[in-house]
């Protein structure tokens, strides 16, 4: 294994160990030493790769969100604007947006803690909350509200927001 491959392997092991332990014990209840032990490395590696615990938290969030961002619901909708023209197209658009969401939210045997960690980030006031809100919750909720308005012709923001919550739930 080359040094860069080994370094990346160590970095990913720390991210996965941190995500698992943050989910099990909470962020505040997880120490740097516990994370390093779980990852099979020395705690100095966390400072080397991430600077500090906050840098590691951000890296865990980025790692978990990368697939969500890479398949962008907004890009999908923009590339399929033509589907808004007919009822069948609208049904297809909504079904495919749901399928894209499910792909991301489906249980992942490699990261069984992923969804719980994201939910914890939105529920607790730490650096992860704002990141998850900015990268997933607000853009996707706004997009769902737009889809509702375009399909129904109803511009009532409260109705659109209720639909987006039902849709995302």
* Tens digit of each residue's pLDDT (9 = 90 or more) over 7-58: 899 999 999 999 999 999 988 899 999 999 999 999 999 999 999 999 999 9
**The whole model's pTM is what?**
0.79
* pLDDT, position 115: 87
Nearest Cα residue to 71 out of 103, 93, 112, 95: 103
Phi, psi of 151 (to 5 degrees): -80, -40
What integer pLDDT is reported at residue 70 of this predicted model? 65
User: How far is residue 20's CA from residue 85's CA, in Å, rounded to a whole number?
Assistant: 45
Res 6 pLDDT > 70: yes
Beta-carbon contacts of 167 under 8 Å, excluding residues fewer than 6 positions away, are 94, 98, 144, 148
Residues 60, 81: Cα–Cα separation, whole Å: 34
In the chain, % of residues over pLDDT 90: 50
Q: For 102-125, what is the mean pLDDT?
A: 84
What does the CA dihedral 100, 105, 107, 109 come to, rounded to 10 degrees?
A: 80
Q: At what angle do helices 157-168 and 138-152 cross, to 10 degrees?
A: 120
Q: Two tokens at 80?
A: 């399929």
Mean pLDDT of the chain: 89
pLDDT digits (tens, 9 = 90+) for 145-167: 999 999 999 988 898 888 888 87
Closest CA to 79 of 97, 59, 91: 97
> What pLDDT does 48 receive?
96
Q: Where are the alpha helices (DSSP H) in 26-156?
A: 32-39, 44-50, 53-70, 73-79, 87-105, 114-123, 127-132, 138-152
């Amino acid at each position: 294994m080359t040094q860069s491959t080994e370094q990346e392997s160590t970095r990913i092991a720390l991210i996965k160990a941190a995500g698992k332990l943050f989910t099990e014990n909470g962020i505040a209840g997880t120490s740097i030493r516990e994370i390093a032990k779980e990852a099979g490395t020395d705690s100095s590696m966390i400072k080397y790769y991430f600077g500090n615990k906050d840098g590691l938290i951000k890296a865990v969030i980025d790692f978990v969100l990368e697939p969500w961002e890479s398949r962008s619901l907004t890009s999908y909708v923009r590339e399929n604007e033509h589907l808004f023209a007919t009822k069948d197209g609208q049904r297809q658009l909504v079904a495919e947006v749901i399928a894209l969401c499910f792909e991301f939210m489906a249980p992942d045997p490699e990261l069984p803690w992923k969804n719980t960690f994201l939910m914890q980030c939105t529920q607790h006031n730490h650096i992860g909350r704002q990141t998850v809100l900015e990268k997933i919750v607000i853009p996707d909720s706004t997009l769902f509200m737009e889809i509702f308005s375009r399909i129904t012709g109803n511009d009532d923001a409260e109705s659109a927001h209720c639909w987006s919550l039902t849709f995302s739930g």
